[in-house]
Structure 1
């Protein structure tokens, strides 16, 4: 199933076509702490080179750290290890998008939290038909 999975699916890593294009037209410039690989095109188009990421595991853009996001979108020219200062002591690690998981944000009154909302205050008047 491995070969067919790489040909036809895109949600768990690079497809066969992306891997082939990366080998022919890209050069590896770095890797982040999560194992994602970053590439840059060999030719410039309109003054900019194409940049892309090959995810290790599921394709989820929230797994790209902020420093590599700035490199991907041409906000900085050099690789983040060379262009950015070391992280500040007060900075937190970035968190992935938790939507669809058990740790996702659930507001008060959500069905996953029991479905109980706070009682309505006196400024709310319910609509009734024919009233």
Structure 2
């Protein structure tokens, strides 16, 4: 029941009821990524402003664009004509695995001296001279 109410009143917890209804009526399921996000494409270009079929993503959980992997991002933005389910994205040997934005999570980067890491930082070196008002 709580998830149903969330889908009515919030857009950041996946998709709203209106978006799900519109995508369900106008879209065709294309595929799903490793994070559980689901991707859709319009049946035709009738509601498009540039003549191309619209493409949507319904996020699993919190709606965050950084959770879309590079292959699906390319498909959503018409860089690739075929979705990764039809034509898999070729990953180069030097590329790192995709990570969503970790800011605000317990896995966020915290440099030395950050308050979240105790606030201890290295002492200033001898070439630093503090400003003193006169």
TM-score category of the 2 structures, normalised to the smaller one: 0.7 to 0.9
- Give the aligned partner of residue 40 of structure 1: 41
Structure 1 segments of 4+ aligned residues over 3 angstroms from their partners: 84-92
- What is the number of residues matched between the two proteins? 130
TM-score normalized by the length of structure 1:
0.87
Secondary structure at the residue paired with 2:13?
Answer: coil
CA distance in 2, matches of 1:2, 1:106: 33
Deviations 1:30-88 (A, max 9, x none): 11122211011223232322111001122121211110010001000011133345545
CA distance in 2, matches of 1:3, 1:111: 38
Deviation at 1:89, TM superposition (A): 5.6
TM-score normalized by the length of structure 2:
0.85
Tell whether the 8 Å contact from 1:9 to 1:15 is kept in structure 2 after alignment.
Answer: yes
CA distance in 1, matches of 2:94, 2:44: 39
Tell whether the 8 Å contact from 1:71 to 1:77 is kept in structure 2 after alignment.
Answer: yes
- Give the aligned partner of residue 81 of structure 1: 85
Deviation at 1:17, TM superposition (A): 0.7
Tell me, which stretches of 5 or more residues in structure 2 are unaligned? none
- Give the aligned partner of residue 69 of structure 2: 65
Secondary structure at the residue paired with 1:80?
Answer: coil
1:108 aligns with 2:109: no
CA distance in 2, matches of 1:85, 1:63: 17
| TM alignment of 1:109-124, pairs within 5 A | 109-124=113-128
Deviation at 1:91, TM superposition (A): 4.6
Tell me, which stretches of 5 or more residues in structure 1 are unaligned? none
Compare 44-53 and 99-108 and name the one that shifted more.
Answer: 44-53
Tell whether the 8 Å contact from 2:71 to 2:89 is kept in structure 1 after alignment.
Answer: no
